[in-house]
Amino acid sequence: VQVGTIGLINAIDRFDPDRGVQFPTFAMPTVVGEIKRYFRDNVRTVHVPRRLHELWVQVNSATEDLTTAFGRSPTTAEIAERLRIGEDEVLACIEAGRSYHATSLEAAQEGDGMPGLLDRLGYEDPELDGVEHRDLVRHLLVQLPEREQRILLLRYYSNLTQSQISAELGVSQMHVSRLLARSFARLRSANRIDA
């Protein structure tokens, strides 16, 4: 509210009725601009704890002092030594300081030819589909008898043929085929119930 009031006062100071523009039409962009400027300059995109913010101010000050003294940007170790804190704290402060500036979705990412964040929105990661599929299968598999679990694992995770499974379990290949069919029927049924 206070920032909007400042914008309104600025609009009153700059308003010229001789220009033929109504005051609300002139004032609205000024007030909105003042509010946007305030958020841009003073509001963090992520909340940073007070202690870390106060330390961030000290890290910035030390960085400026050391840059002047050395004629180059100081290392993390040099900043930490100056403030008598750990390097990990310096790094945490630097990271916290970045919360003041949001990255545009359209900004190019590091590296040549890398797509921006906007280009990756909605991108489906095929690896994620595999993880979801494995989790679903694992959830359904535990509902089967141990023998059927083992046959499915041998067939689809160890990539054994039905003949190899029958030799390992000491049963006929036809019996393995029947057990696989029964397992699939149970999995389909369990999946319908869970859905």
The predicted-structure confidence for 126-140, as pLDDT tens digits, reads as follows 666 666 777 777 778
The tokens for 189 are: 């049924």
Domains 50-100 and 126-194 alike in fold = yes
Give me the percent of the chain exceeding a pLDDT of 90: 29
- Asked if 74 contacts 67 with a C-beta cutoff of 8 angstroms, the reply is yes
Nearest CA-CA partner of 102 in 51, 41, 57: 41
Cβ within 8 Å of residue 136, ≥6 positions away: 191
Alpha helices in 43-170 (DSSP H): 50-70, 76-83, 87-97, 117-120, 126-141, 146-156, 162-169
Mean pLDDT computed over 15-38 = 85
User: For the chain, what are the domain ranges?
Assistant: 2-42, 50-100, 126-194
CA distances from 100 to 41, 42, 163 (A): 8, 8, 64
Q: Which of 107-111, 124-128, 179-183 has the highest mean pLDDT?
A: 179-183
Q: Which CATH number fits domain 50-100: 1.10.10.10, 1.10.540.10, 3.60.21.10, 2.40.50.110?
A: 1.10.10.10
Q: What is the pLDDT of residue 7?
A: 84
Tell me which fold the domain 126-194 belongs to: Arc Repressor Mutant, subunit A (1.10.10)
* Cβ neighbours of 24 (radius 10 Å): 9
The CA distance from 191 to 144, in Å, is 12
Q: Give the pLDDT band of residue 54 (cuts 50, 70, 90).
A: confident
Amino acid found at 93:
C
- DSSP 8-state secondary structure symbol assigned to residue 98: G
Q: Name the most confidently modeled range: 3-12, 122-131, 170-179.
A: 170-179
The pLDDT of 14-21, averaged and rounded, is 86
Tell me the C-alpha distance between 186 and 177, whole Å: 14
Give me the residue label for tokens 């999995």. Answer: 187
